[in-house]
Amino acid sequence: MLPVRLDRADPQPLGTQLADQMRALVLSGALAGGDRLPASRRLAADLGVSRSVVEQAFDQLLAEGWLEARQGAGTWVADGVAHRARASARRGVPAPERPLVMLDAGTPWIDPRHEGTWRRAWREVSTATPPRGYDDPRGLPALRALVAERLGRTRGLAVDADQVRITGGIGAGLRHVLAILPRAPIALEDPGYRAAVAAVHESGRTVRDLPALEPVDDLAGCAAAYVTPAHQHPLGRVMPAANRLTLLATARRDEALVVEDDYDSEFRYDVAPVPALASLDRDRVAYLGTASKSILPSLRLGWAVVPDDRVRAFDAHRRLTHDAPPWPVQRAMVTLLRDGYVDAVVRSARRVYAERAPRVVAALSPYAELAGPVAGMYSTWLLPHARAVRVRAAAEDAGFRVNLLRDYCRTARLSGLVVGFGGPTDAELDRALDVLVGALDRL
């Protein structure tokens, strides 16, 4: 008897249920190539259904090629497919992977106490009227005004709504900036943000390595320099004032644009956030911000402030490509900013990070040296590469993902671990630190 169970309460017709289950039996290898199936009359009796139900299922699977009818000899599982199905079943659908707890640089902690505002934002989206066509490529005017207000208040960037563009995050903003730059190399910090490196390569340009933390005094031949001045990614240092001025002077002299990636600057807990580099020279710096650290990376929302002489080209590219974030996301963000959600989650995440950072430092500092002051939601530790690899493997075995510093390096030869503390719960963080310390102790 075939191991199938038909359910009369199921809205699927019985014939469809039977066909689905027989197909699954062939795919799993339970029905082998060349197996003969029971006659339709007998199978119908076994299953307590009419013969037409079985015939409907057989017809379906014959049409799909899973079964074949042999003249006067009944119905069989088709040879070739069953073989292949069994082989792939043997090779195995991989066992479902246990999800790793991410201790990466990019997963933020989000205060669940503000979920009411989050839900209100989506309720408002559901009752608002969407635009009829492609919307304004610059972004929703109400959102641009709210972002401009917040940039002035929190990033020292005095801009108005007309100068703000809504993007699908820093990555999308960078791609739009690249689209309007001359086809020349782009200078990137080394070690640096891997997604930016990928975007530059994707644009068909080469990357010039800028040793991170050193003053930038040569950008000759480069279309732009991409930097993370508020919190060098991943070494963690703030770009000193003198280096900011040198970078801007070099960019002016060599006619290169500076692209400022301002990804997590609000999460400082030792001093006030360092004002944006763009506040020093709006004509030379394209500023990119994101909701990924303060709200959610999966929102895919960010903003850009592009120098006035480039903004027409930037808008024209976006109008041409319709590459703007979805209207519902922009509309929800209006509510989140208007009702103080962003300020509230940033404030409470800052408190959580301020409490977690010293725990991480206390646990790991006996074993490794910090690459820079801890800010944001991660810390970077210098260690010989072989040790870092072993510690990372031990963490992975225990269900935690930490990143290798070497993976952010191109010509730089730094090594160690990047340990995030935004994503895990408190209990997970404690366990992760125990695992890391245990692995370091054993080395």
Ligand X SMILES: Cc1ncc(COP(=O)(O)O)c(C=O)c1O
| Binding region for ligand X (CB under 6 A) | 105-106, 169-171, 193, 228, 233, 261, 263, 290, 292, 297, 302
Q: How far is the CB of 107 from ligand X (least distance, A)?
A: 8
Question: Of 17, 29, 33, which is closest to residue 93 (Cα–Cα)?
Answer: 29
Q: From CA 231, how far away is CA 380, in angstroms rounded?
A: 12
Distance in Å, CB of 193 to ligand X, minimum: 4
User: Using CA atoms, how far apart are residues 137 and 317, in angstroms rounded to an integer?
Assistant: 9
Question: Smaller CB distance to ligand X: residue 15 or 420?
Answer: 420
In the complex, least distance from residue 286 CB atom to ligand X, rounded to whole angstroms: 14
Of 170 and 336, nearer to ligand X (C-beta) is 170
**Shortest spacing between CB 262 and ligand X, in angstroms:** 8
For ligand X, the closer of residues 38 and 297 by Cβ is: 297
Q: What is the distance between the alpha carbons of residues 198 and 156, in angstroms, rounded to a whole number? A: 30
Cis? peptide before 325, omega within 30° of 0? no
Place of tokens 């069953």: 82
Question: What is the closest distance, in whole angstroms, from the C-beta atom of residue 383 to ligand X in the complex?
Answer: 21
Q: Looking at beta carbons only, is 106 or 229 nearer to ligand X? A: 106
State which residue, 23 or 189, has the beta carbon closest to ligand X: 189
C-beta closer to ligand X: residue 25 or 224: 224
**Torsions phi, psi for 381 (to 5 deg):** -120, 135
Query: Which residues, 6 or more positions from 219, have their beta carbon under 8 angstroms from its beta carbon?
Result: 187, 225, 250, 251, 254, 256
Nearer to ligand X, 82 or 349 (CB): 349
Q: Which is nearer to ligand X, 263 or 314 (CB)?
A: 263
Sort residue 135 into left (φ over 0), alpha (ψ -120 to 50) or beta: beta
Min separation Cβ 299 and ligand X, Å = 9
The CA distances from residue 369 to 164, 182, 211, 302, 412, in Å, are 40, 41, 19, 33, 17
Which residue in this structure is represented by tokens 């990372």?
A: 392
What is the closest distance, in whole angstroms, from the C-beta atom of residue 249 to ligand X in the complex? 24
Q: Nearest distance from residue 253's CB to ligand X, in Å?
A: 26
Q: If DSSP codes are grouped into helix, strand and coil, which group holds residue 290?
A: strand
Measured distance CA(73)–CA(331) in Å, rounded: 65
The least distance separating ligand X from the CB of residue 105, rounded to whole angstroms, comes to 5
**Cβ closest to ligand X, residue 230 vs residue 257:** 230
Rounded CA gap, 82 and 26, in Å? 6
Rounded Cα–Cα distance for residues 106 and 389 (Å): 20
Could you give the CA distance from residue 296 to residue 56 in angstroms, rounded to a whole number?
49
From the list 268, 247, 274, 234, the residue with the least C-alpha distance to 371 is 234
